[in-house]
Amino acid sequence: MSFEEHYQENCIFCKIARGEVPCLKVYEDQEILAFLDTSPASKGHTLVITKEHFDSMLNVPEDLLAKTFRVAQKIAQALETKLGAKGINILTNIHEIAGQSVHHFHVHIIPRYGPNDGLKLECTPLKLEKFNLPVIANDIKSSI
Ligand code: 5GP
Ligand code: ZN
């Protein structure tokens, strides 16, 4: 099935995938597109999307997911070698509570340039005694 058949009318990334909204492309093949984020968290912040619409990573078929992350790896390598990134964060937000604002699967590639680059993705660890880790591990394991 072509990506055009899963087009969502009000989806900005579907419009970008179809060329209806412009973007600064850094990679394109039949299934995947990568372009610069217009509200970058750092210089070279890139988004990798599947051309076909999936609401989030949870719905993406395995082979397409693998291809997306292969492209993400290539872009991360280019950010290091060409833009001089000292580190890179790769992330995908799933649902609004996690910060997803565009509901078309995308992976953020965010280059990091130094300890004072103004980006903070760290979290404060919770106290370990709040959780029964073996039970949690088993809950997850048993439903995969
Ligand atoms: P999310 O918050 O859903 O994980 O990330 C969506 C990203 O898409 C944001 O970083 C936002 O800046 C970017 N974005 C939203 N609209 C556009 C657009 O029209 N063009 C481009 N290039 N990026 C966009
Ligand atoms: Zn879409």
Amino acid 118: pLDDT: 85
3-state secondary structure of 108: strand
Residue spans per domain, the chain:
3-143
What letter does residue 116 receive in the DSSP assignment? T
Amino acid 87: pLDDT: 96
Amino acid 51: pLDDT: 97
DSSP of 4-41: GGG--TT-HHHHHHTTSS---EEEE-SSEEEEE-SS-S
| Residue 104: CA count within 13 A, CB half-sphere | 22
Residues 6+ apart with CB under 8 A from 20: none
Instruction: Show pLDDT as tens, one digit a residue, over the chain (144 residues).
Output: 578 778 899 999 999 999 999 999 999 999 999 999 999 999 999 999 999 999 999 999 999 999 999 999 999 999 999 999 999 999 999 999 999 999 999 999 999 999 888 888 888 888 888 899 999 999 999 999
Among 38, 46, 56, 103, name the best residue to mutate to test ligand 1's pocket (greatest count of ligand atoms within 8 A of Cβ): 38
Amino acid 115: pLDDT: 87
Ligand 1 geometric centre to CA of 142 (Å) = 35
Asked if 52 contacts 13 with a C-beta cutoff of 8 angstroms, the reply is no
| Pocket of ligand 1 from Cβ distances under 6 Å | 12, 21, 23, 35-39, 47, 93, 99-102
Which fold is adopted by the domain 3-143? HIT family, subunit A (3.30.428)
> Virtual CA dihedral for 52, 42, 77, 27, nearest 10 degrees?
30
**Quick one: CA dihedral 7, 11, 14, 16, positive or negative?**
positive
Rounded Cα–Cα distance for residues 118 and 115 (Å): 8
